[in-house]
Chain A
Amino acid sequence: MSTDALRRLTATEFTLFLRDKVGPIFGVLFPTALLCVFGNLDFFTDPANGIDGQPLLYTYTPILVGFVIAMLALNSLPPTLASYREQGVLRRLRTTPVGPAQVLGAQFAICLGTALVSVVLLLAVARLAFDVPLPRQPLAFTLSAVLAALALIGVAVLVAAVTPTAKAANAIGSVLFYVMMFFAGLWLPIEAMPPVLRHVSEATPLGAAVQALSDSTAGHWPPAWRLLLLAGYVVGTGSLGVRLFRWE
């Protein structure tokens, strides 16, 4: 298959992604808007309210990075994949030289690319507008973010694989989004959770991801087991999702 076809396919899928508006609005604009709201509340910027003497906004920046990834992977991807299967888009592609797997590849690339843009925007606004320090360990931060994105894309494929319709995929994706965001500390930062909740949180993909992102933001590498856990989620959800996913 030609690279022209792959480029065209990815460009077309990206156009549809923009036209759909869910990803750009909730995955890119919304998290940064939320950051701006938090940044303008004294409660979030006064170190007296924070954890370890830091303003709460510092704690929330990695949580919002997790929010970006979860939003794009769980709210945008599963309904798209399920509707492509439901409407026969994948089946139609099976009769062309470009197989349906290429569409999934294009979708993953768009999800990762958009997450990158959104996280860069978020960190830039946090730094420039609200004086939130940039991650002190950028390599660890990037690795953690990429592992988190891949793990959640794996979850998204799994959701799309086990749901018969786009509607069902949307519902399950949303529920998972809220559950995972809870354990990632959106309503109650992980550091403030009681020990039992914290242990559960550390075992979930997004909880582990936010912890790894917080570690690297503070300037140290996350413990190896945390990164291995994330890598395990990538391999586990990815291979199970690919095995269960049907083109029709």
Chain B
Amino acid sequence: MTAVIEVQELHKRYGDKVAVDDVSFRVDEGEIFGILGSNGAGKTTTVECVEGLRRADRGTIRVFGLDPVRDRAELTQRLGVQLQGAHLPEKLRVGEALDLYRSFYRRPADPADLMAALGLDGIRDTRFGKLSGGQQQRLSIALALIGNPRVAVLDELTTGLDPRARRETWRLIEDVRASGVTILLVTHFMDEAERLCDRVAVIDAGRVVAVDTPAALTKRAAADLGVERATLEDAFVALTGETTDVH
């Protein structure tokens, strides 16, 4: 397998606060790789370094062999990003946003296909400020994919979506992966990770405490807890429990 993303010994601090304290992992081509962690564990900082939004204090990051900060121009052509929260002018319409972002890329996707896939057809002329949280979320996923990226970083993919929209989004992500796109998924929803991810890295207090398949993690948790079946949530709580208890 070829590595698409390689993160080695990443460190990042803000003033006195250590946000990321030695994180390493690799994401192989065609994988859906999850980064799991509680709020404030360092997930978002880690992916922001991968996206080139932040400069690492120490460590190396390579995406397709590119340095996210130094090779920004080339990286942004191949890396699609969905950030947490809203990021468009309020009066920009859905269709205009897609047409605008489409023009940024060398080989963009077809906006009509994306709008159909994400259920944005009926709100083409709606302004961003008038969209519901779920609609904004779906638009931001569409914008992450409009450049036809080879790898997509999705941060809190289904936050704010209702159960039906969540399931539809999961199916879409599986379709995107089936078309050969590698996906780095940041989440604190364990059911989402269990359903979508081939492998996950569990981050706790800025450190990687486990990297494995969800199945292997749940199997180990079941053995440790002495029960027949454990969920990924059980595994997550067991892996991150010790440091949480200390606080």
Contacts and interface: CB of A to CB of B under 8 A. Distances in A.
Interface string B90-107: 111000100111011110
Interface stretch (B81-89, B182-190, B202-210, B220-228): B81-89
Contact of A97 (B53, B90, B104, B143): B104
A95 B53 contact: yes
Interface stretch (A7-15, A67-75, A120-128): A7-15
Contacts of A96: 76, 101, 104-105, 147
Contact of B52 (A5, A12, A95): A95
B1 interface: no
A9 B87 contact: no
Contacts of B31: none
Contact of A87 (B81, B89, B100, B104): B89
Contact of A9 (B53, B90, B100): B100
Interface in B62-118: 73, 76-77, 79, 81, 83, 85-92, 96, 99-101, 103-106
A88 B85 contact: yes
What is the interface residue range for chain B against chain A? 20 to 34
B21 interface: no
A94 interface: yes
A201 B133 CA distance: 50
**Which of A1, A12, A89, A96 is the most central at the interface, judged by chain B CB atoms within 10 Å of its CB?**
A96
Contacts of B99: 8
Nearest to A3: B103
A20 B127 CA distance: 12
A92 B92 contact: no
Given A87-B86, A92-B88, A97 B77 contact: yes
B88 A89 contact: yes
Contacts of B104: 1, 5, 96-98
Contacts of A92: 81, 83, 87-88, 143
Nearest to A96: B104
Contact of A8 (B73, B87, B103, B106): B103
Contacts of B91: 16, 19-20
B92 A95 contact: no
A95 B147 CA distance: 11
Contact of A5 (B81, B88, B103): B103
A16 B92 contact: yes
A20 B147 CA distance: 28
A92 B80 CA distance: 11
A84 B88 CA distance: 8
Given A16-B91, A89-B89, A95 B51 contact: yes
Interface string A2-45: 10110011001001100110000000000000000000000000
A91 interface: yes
Contacts of B92: 12, 16
A98 B100 CA distance: 11
A88 B87 contact: yes
A58 B93 CA distance: 44
B136 to A, nearest CB: 11
Given A96-B147, A97-B105, A8 B53 contact: no
Given A5-B104, A19-B91, A88 B83 contact: yes
A22 to B, nearest CB: 12
Contacts of A95: 51-53, 76, 79, 81, 83
Nearest to A15: B96
**Which of A88, A91, A95, A98 is the most central at the interface, judged by chain B CB atoms within 10 Å of its CB?**
A95
A89 B91 CA distance: 12
Interface in B157-172: none
Interface of B: 51-53, 73, 76-77, 79, 81, 83, 85-92, 96, 99-101, 103-106, 143, 147
22 contacts: A1-B104, A5-B103, A5-B104, A8-B100, A12-B92, A12-B100, A16-B89, A16-B91, A19-B91, A83-B89, A87-B88, A87-B89, A92-B81, A92-B83, A95-B52, A95-B76, A95-B79, A95-B83, A96-B104, A96-B105, A97-B76, A98-B104
Interface of A: 1-2, 4-5, 8-9, 12, 15-16, 19-20, 83-84, 87-89, 91-92, 94-98
Given A88-B85, A92-B81, 11 more contacts: A5-B103, A8-B103, A12-B100, A16-B91, A87-B88, A87-B90, A89-B89, A92-B83, A95-B53, A96-B101, A97-B76
